[in-house]
Homo-oligomer: A and B are copies of this chain.
């Protein structure tokens, strides 16, 4: 249970006072006019390199994340407060962003694009993904009334489809027919790879469970696509400034969560009570992979993110064979084959760039 909460640290799973209403049509539609189209064309080769590096980083960080989780599970249960761990992750992300910014200021001086000060207009949309994740996480408590944890793992693959659909609708970016086929295969392949003898009862999920799973997939997909829209709205803006403002709300929300949930434990036993070496490793990993997600949003897109985390899931299983003597199932091999073909089809199925 512990790890799942830590794992959802990206989701800023606490309250915000900001209204969902501020997710206005204006800010979304203007994204396409200004940011997205110019991001791809101008940089060319160096952008492609950057895209590959951040994608690889995200894949490796995500796969080692899951391995740390397995490792930590074998090491026994932790005694730390989950809220303090989430806070630490957000704070570390802020600090790393600031450190990168200081280096930039020293090298290139302070410019309009890399100064930390901002307008209300720019910063007002930043808490919105956090709110979406929060609503999703609240729903998560209720869905377990209808489905159990293994079935929920299977249903989570609906995220892949919802991300693709919302990416198309909201960001108005096109995928070719072959890339859509590849996306369906990615979803089917990931689900196949996770099949186990008890998976079949997911088919007995009541209609309420399906509805909630679909709503959660939409919320999660929407949050991802919205983050991409925010970051790409100002393509020339320094990513570390954007990250700082994205993460500072995580810090604030988690501070509230500590006060509400773990105030006594922190006051009596100290903020870092129960932290072990592996806790620190997990916090470091979560912070770095959080930054990698932002980078992928900036230099690639949500589709790349989905592929990256799916491949990471398979990598984790393969590495676990050596580390933890896991046995791979036939379903895993079949699912991996389908995912591999999907990655191939996604890359060969690219639309010709429109002039």
Contact = CB atoms under 8 A, between A and B. Distances in A.
Report copies per complex.
2
A199 interface: yes
A185 B338 contact: yes
A177 interface: yes
B330 A178 contact: no
A331 B192 contact: yes
Given A178-B178, A181-B341, A334 B200 contact: no
Contact of A181 (B154, B188, B344): B344
B200 A330 contact: yes
Contacts of A189: 338
B338 A178 contact: no
A19 B195 CA distance: 48
Contacts of A200: 329-331
A345 interface: yes
A197 interface: yes
A204 to B, nearest CB: 10
Interface in A315-352: 328-331, 333-335, 337-338, 341, 344-345, 348
Q: Is the interface of A mostly helix, strand, loop or mixed?
A: helix
Interface in A171-217: 177-178, 181, 184-185, 188-189, 191-192, 195, 197, 199-200, 202-203
A335 B328 CA distance: 18
Contacts of A337: 184, 188
A202 B344 contact: no
Nearest to A344: B181
B338 A188 contact: yes
A184 B331 contact: no
A199 B195 CA distance: 12
A345 B335 CA distance: 18
Interface in A17-69: none
A59 to B, nearest CB: 22
Listed from nearest, the 8 A-B pairs whose CB atoms lie closest are A197-B197, A188-B337, A192-B334, A188-B334, A181-B341, A200-B330, A199-B330, A188-B338
